[in-house]
Homo-oligomer: A and B are copies of this chain.
Amino acid sequence: MLTHERHEYILKYLDEKKTIKIQDIVDSTGASESTIRRDLTELENMQKLERVFGGAVLPGRNLQESSVADKAARNLQEKKRLAKFAASFIQKGDSVFLDAGTTTYQMIPYLKDKEVVVVTNGLTLVESLNEHGITTYLTGGLMKPLTGAFVGAQTIQSLGNYRFDICFLGANGFHAEYGYTTPDPEEAAVKKRASTLARKTYILADHSKANKVSFAKIMDLDQGILLTDQIAGNILEVIEKKTNVKVVSS
């Protein structure tokens, strides 16, 4: 069976049943599990489907809710720990840039008593920041429905009006050679811009992001301080040569 035929089969099946199990595909196509996994990964990159544990589903029509909320729920406790740790680096009265993202979102409760001014590009963060009584500026611009992050020339320009004492960014991967990366080039550009406007930049990325490389580069490792939870010994050594790493005490 041709690769293309399998892809067609998967998509057609998905279109009818909305959901598909890897084992079922293996049984009906005769291909190996590895191959089917590769198929699904590829189709996911084309945004034709969304992978879930054990199979795949049609991409949520309400992407904002389904996939972002999914991610937010995952490892919530670890995210909170990392967020609290990150917030501990903030001084009273700092001007803070807070990147859009589920981990940075968890930092908000810990900003309450710091008398900070926050600038963010995250739509979902604004309301929560306001509820906590934190003075907040939103960059504005064009919104990415998937992440609720603002991007584009307008966003970049907005940022130029500010200087930050401290800047917190999310990243999908960090790698000794390729630096910090994230899937969307436009979001990467915003992150980079924010970083250059800050006296100190911290990147929040848990251990699952170690050695991962995503499509768009944000910046090199040495441009920021990495905050993470735990990390395998030998990887840590390589990374530590390039950047300053701080690990949450467990």
Interface residues of A (CB under 8 A from B): 2-5, 8, 19, 21, 42-43, 45-48, 52-55, 57, 62, 64, 69-70, 72-73, 76, 123, 126-127, 130-131, 135-143, 145, 150, 152-155, 157-158, 161
Contact = CB atoms under 8 A, between A and B. Distances in A.
Instruction: Indicate how many identical chains form the complex.
Output: 2
Contacts of A158: 140, 154, 158
A45 B72 contact: yes
Given A55-B2, A64-B130, A141 B145 contact: no
Contact of A138 (B57, B70, B76, B141): B141
In this complex, the member of A72, A127, A137, A138 whose beta carbon has the largest number of chain B beta carbons within 10 angstroms is: A138
Nearest to A21: B2
B141 A137 contact: yes
Given A4-B54, A138-B140, A140-B140, 13 more contacts: A2-B55, A3-B53, A4-B55, A4-B57, A43-B73, A45-B73, A47-B69, A123-B127, A130-B145, A137-B141, A138-B143, A140-B155, A158-B158
Contacts of A140: 137-141, 150, 154-155, 158
A158 B154 CA distance: 7
Contact of A142 (B62, B137, B155): B137
Nearest to A19: B5
B127 A136 contact: no
A157 B161 contact: yes
Contacts of A154: 137, 140, 158, 161
A24 to B, nearest CB: 11
Nearest to A139: B140
